Amino acid sequence: MATVEEPQARVDEAPIATVETTVAGEITVAVEPARRPPGRMPPRQWIRANLFRTVANTILTVLFGSALAYAAYRLLRFVFVTADWEIVRRNLRLFMVGRDFPVEELWRVWVSVYVLAAAIGLAVGVAAAAAAELARARGHPVARATPVGLLRRYWPLLLITGVALSFTRTVLPSLLLVGGVAVMLAARYVGRRAGVLAKFIWPTVLLAVVASVVIVSGFGGVEWDDWGGLHLTLFVTVAGITAAAPFGVALAVARRSSLPALRAVTVSYIEVFRGVPLVTLLFMGQFLVPLFFPNTVEPPSPLLRALIAVALFEAAYIAETVRGGLQAMPRGQYEAAMALGLRPWTTTRKIILPQALRNVIPAMVGQFISLFKDTSLLSVLGFTELLAVVDLTINQPAFQGRRLHPVAYAFVALVYWAVSYSMSRESRRLERRLGVGTR
Amino acid sequence: MFNVRVLRVAAQAVFLVVVVVVLLYLADNYQANTRGGSTGWGFLREPAGFGITDTDFRGGNSNWQAIVIGIRNTLLAAAVGIVLASIIGLIVGIMRLSRNWLVQKAATLYVESIRNIPVLLIILFTAAAFRPLPPIGDPATPLGWFVISNQWLAIPSLIANDTVPIYLGLLAAAAIAAVLIGRWRTKASERTGAPHHRLLYGAGLMVGVATVGWLALQPFDVSLPRVEDGVIIGGFRIGVVDYAPLTLALALYTASHIAEIVRGSILAVPRGQTEASTALGLSEFQRLRYVVLPQALRVAIPPTLNQYLSLTKNTSLGIAVAYSDLFNIVNRIVNTGSPALESYALVMAIYLIISLVTSLLVNLVNRRYQLVER
């Protein structure tokens, strides 16, 4: 999610709004002198102003207070008393990698996690360095992240990691995870000092993603079709977005083209794929994709068919997101490029697209989140991704007929929630930092 | 040098040729792969190889009739879901702007937790939540008016008598009269400056006619549901296994998105508007009714219509709880050996019609409201 800010910031660009935080944790604050945050009220005054201002307000407070207190009581009772978490504890591996993943090959998953951790660390480090550079150029002070700040920022992820680790029976996963965090921090340190090599960060990240797939599936490893659980969910999300992004960007550019034939074809593609539910496309992918391949080649595996459907669907949505960014580009950019004598294609490639893509990053994170949630539809097709594992576990002899659905669903929901919620918060931060919509 | 116009035409021609060649190649593969299999639209008239539970539909009826039932079920879930989602979303969205800290936080909790969970998970969770209800053999019957079980939920329903047309005619006449009275009162108010009391006169007439007509004509009988041998007789039944979880979950999920739209669009009205209307001496109600809400609505309607569309598309997830919606029915038709391409093309066409009508609506609304802008 790291964006590399242009290191050469113009000094005359006066900060307008409060510029806040970077991807990596340094906080650059430019307090606007005119609008200072209101001073803290003493608690008694705050309670009166926010809870008991009027009679109606007081009634609302009492009503909602008791309802929330009861809900909290029920929730705590469920978590600590009534729920039998044994179903998750015994099946944690199923939730993580699915049913068909051989235990003796689990090390491959860990290696790929380490590779990804290193790549993410590098990217975050490079972004942090760029942001610090920018802050220096603009003359803002650079503040270091505090432990409280980090906790407030990452608590959903910390929560789910803690919950998952509390279900492990050996200490090994915890140790491995600590190692992963250490690798990430070390990579971040390297990334901050990468200097000119920072240019190659995107290819490096892409390479790491490909490597993390090959490490698990290649070299006598586990085939895609045996993947499952959270591993499969994340894989489908990342692979779907990665495959769809170039296609989607091309569609968006084509849709803005001045050639009517190009426009007509792309508009029909986008409208058709956006107008149809994803489940329909997934089922069609399973039934129809093999029929469109020549019968001389072997038809694609079920997972590949699902991936094709996801990518075709996602491309249409990415195209619309990118189109938003393209439409928001001021005319002056085109006119300036034209005045410089650039050709239309060069203008798009060198001037318009880089800026437009940077501006739609928050919206793209939003797309990523929806796809992450939508991968749950694969369970309807019979893939054992995260949600489908619930059905597997509650039908095990030890848990059958014990009405444990809520327990298993609660765990899965927490995983989905923690990932989506933290990503959506990061995208909102990014949005504020990029100043999208404030220009 | 190349002529730009020639180049443009050539580029488009090349592009179209490539697209057509790719499509032809795919069509050729398809034909080679389905040789000997069934193709064409004849399957729509053939008898379906399955029955649909809880309907009169049997295997002898045609596939087309099954699809009509599917469309009806999809629209039924979508319509009720949209109404519920709008109500919940509006309330939660306004709660998020409340000055009461607790109310605001409760609404935020709702939005942020529901929005970040897959809708399919919410559907399955809701279905699981209904499972502990009493079985149909021993249902709960509060007040004797309702039947609650883990199969069916039943509420009292109305049975029309012969006098219904007269009653409806009476209501229509009263509605016309109410509008006329409203116009007259507006004019009178403009002429004399006296308060118009449009609502009082108009609605009063309507309510009066409706009540008197109901008592005099007895247009409807109330049918109370009861259970005999595990079968519900009378009343209006709602499926607790499939329909209720699907509709409720979709409503809850979409409501979290609508709440954000409501909040955002109210916040999008500049503060100056509020301040100006206060300066003009408008009351709180007048300020909301004539200044804030019309402007907020202009921002809110297009994204809300898109949410309605996505709810409608999401009814296809009914397949997870075996709800007989359009997509589920077509899947069963495909599974009984009907041609897949044609069947799925039909589903796509129907969903496309729904979504194109929605975008048309969005564009119309946009155009209408943009005229108001400066």
ipTM attached to this prediction: 0.82
CA distance A131 to A28: 9
Which of A61, A272, A292 lies nearest to residue B26, judging by beta carbons? A292
Mutate to test the interface with A, among B34, B112, B116, B307 (most CBs of A within 10 A): B116
The pLDDT value recorded for residue B252 is 94
Tokens standing for residue B191: 């002429």
Which of A54, A257, A372, A377 is the best residue to mutate to test the B interface, defined by the most B CB atoms within 10 Å of its own CB?
A377
Sorting pLDDT into bands at 50, 70 and 90, what band is A30?
very low
Q: How confident is the model at residue A439 (pLDDT cuts 50, 70, 90)?
A: very low
Give the CATH number of the domain where residue A353 resides. 1.10.3720.10
| Residue-level pLDDT at B88 | 93
Select from A51, A53, A416 the Cβ nearest to the Cβ of B121: A416
Residues in chain B: 374
Q: Which residues of A76-87 are buried (b: 16+ CB within 10 A; e: fewer)?
A: eeeeeeebebeb
How far from each other are the two terminal CA atoms of chain A, in whole angstroms? 22
Q: Which residues of A are less than 8 Å from B352 in CB distance?
A: 271-272, 275-276
Q: Tell me, yes or no, if A421 comes closer than 8 A to chain B by beta carbon.
A: yes
pLDDT at A39: 58
Per-residue model confidence (pLDDT) at position A6 = 36
Q: CB–CB of B327 and A262 under 8 A?
A: no
For residue range A137-184, what is the model confidence (pLDDT) as tens digits? 877 776 677 888 888 888 888 888 888 888 888 888 888 888 888 888
- Residue A387 in contact with partner chain B when CB distance is under 8 A: yes
Pairwise CB contact (< 8 Å): A287 & B340: yes
Token pair 């992820």 in the structure block, residue = A157
Query: How many Cα neighbours within 13 Å face the side chain of A140?
Result: 27
Q: Note the residue count of chain A.
A: 439
Q: Strand B157-160 vs strand B236-239: parallel, antiparallel, or unpaired?
A: unpaired
Average pLDDT, chain B: 84
- Answer whether A292 sits within 8 Å of B30, measured CB to CB: yes
- Which of A64, A373, A413 has its CB closest to that of B102? A64
Chain B residue with minimum CA distance to A391: B124
Is the distance from CB of B133 to CB of B221 less than 8 angstroms? no
Within A256-341, residue ranges assigned H as helices are 260-275, 278-292, 302-327, 331-339
* pLDDT for residue B38: 64
Q: What is the pLDDT of residue B297?
A: 83
For an interface test with B, the pick among A373, A392, A404 (most B C-beta atoms closer than 10 Å) comes out as A373
Task: Determine whether A386 is exposed, middle or buried from the number of CB atoms within 10 Å of its CB (0-12, 13-18, 19+).
Answer: buried
A388: tokens are 């489908």
Asked if the C-beta of A406 comes within 8 angstroms of chain B's C-beta atoms, the answer is yes
A133 within a domain of the structure (yes/no): no
- pLDDT tens-place string over residues A62-85: 888 899 999 999 889 888 888 788
pLDDT computed for residue A26 by the predictor? 37
CA atoms within 13 A on the CB side of A349: 5
CATH number of B43-132+250-374: 1.10.3720.10
Asked if B99 lies within 8 A of A421 by C-beta distance, the reply is no
Answer whether residue A196 is part of any domain. no
Average pLDDT of the residues of chain A = 80
Q: Using the beta-carbon criterion (under 8 Å), do B106 and A68 form an inter-chain contact?
A: yes
Alpha carbon distances (Å) from A416 to A150, A281, A423: 21, 23, 11
Q: What DSSP character marks residue A328?
A: T
Test B125 with A406 for CB contact under 8 angstroms. yes
Burial class (CB in 10 A: 0-12, 13-18, 19+), A195: exposed
Cα A9 from Cα A433, distance rounded (Å): 14
Task: Please state the rounded mean pLDDT for residues A226-234.
Answer: 87
Asked if B100 lies within 8 A of A274 by C-beta distance, the reply is no
Spell out which residues of chain B touch residue A286, defining contact as CB-CB under 8 Å: none
Cα B287 to chain centroid distance, Å, stands at 30
- Check CB contact of A279 with chain B, cutoff 8 Å: yes
pLDDT at A142: 67
Does residue A14 carry a pLDDT above 50? no
Predicted confidence (pLDDT) per residue in A322-376, tens digit: 888 888 888 888 888 889 988 888 888 888 888 888 888 888 888 889 899 999 9
DSSP lists the bridge partners of residue A343 as none
Local structure of A200: helix, strand or coil: helix
A248 in a structural domain: yes
Domain carrying residue A289: 229-383
Contacts of A60 in chain B (CB under 8 A): 98, 100, 102-103
Does A420 contact B125 at a Cβ distance shorter than 8 Å?
no
For the cut 60, the answer to whether the pLDDT of residue A45 exceeds it is yes
Q: Which helix (H) or strand (E) holds A93?
A: helix A92-97
Residue of A nearest to B132 (CA): A403
Q: For residue range A204-223, what is the model confidence (pLDDT) as tens digits?
A: 888 888 888 888 887 777 77
**Confidence band, pLDDT 50/70/90 cuts, at residue A54:** confident
**CB-based burial of residue B3 (10 Å sphere; 0-12 exposed, 13-18 middle, 19+ buried)?**
exposed
Which residues on A lie below 8 Å from B319 (Cβ)?
Answer: 279, 380
Which of B99, B124, B344 lies closest to A284 in CB terms? B344
Q: How many domains is chain A built from? A: 1
Tokens found for residue A234? 């994340």
Query: Mean pLDDT in each 10-residue stretch from start to end of chain B (374 residues)?
Result: 76 88 86 72 74 71 83 89 92 86 89 92 90 80 78 80 83 89 84 78 85 82 77 79 91 93 88 89 84 84 86 90 88 83 88 86 75 48
- pLDDT of amino acid A143: 65
Residue B254: predicted pLDDT: 94
Query: Does residue A303 contact residue A225 with C-beta atoms inside 8 Å?
Result: yes
* CA separation for the pair B148, B133 (Å, rounded): 7
Chain B residues inside the 8 Å CB shell of A387: 118, 120-121, 124
Query: Looking at residue B233, what DSSP letter applies?
Result: E
Contacts of A111 (CB under 8 A, 6+ apart): A215
Least confident of A28-32, A316-320, A389-393, B343-347: A28-32
Interface of B with A in 63-122 (CB under 8 A): 98-103, 106, 112-113, 115-121
The reported pLDDT for the residue numbered B247 is 94
Is A437 within a domain? no
The Cα of A310 is separated from the nearest Cα of chain B by a number of Å equal to 16
Residue with tokens 């009492």: A62
Q: Which positions in chain A touch B15 (Cβ < 8 Å)?
A: 259, 261-262, 265
Of B100, B112, B313, Cβ closest to residue A61: B100
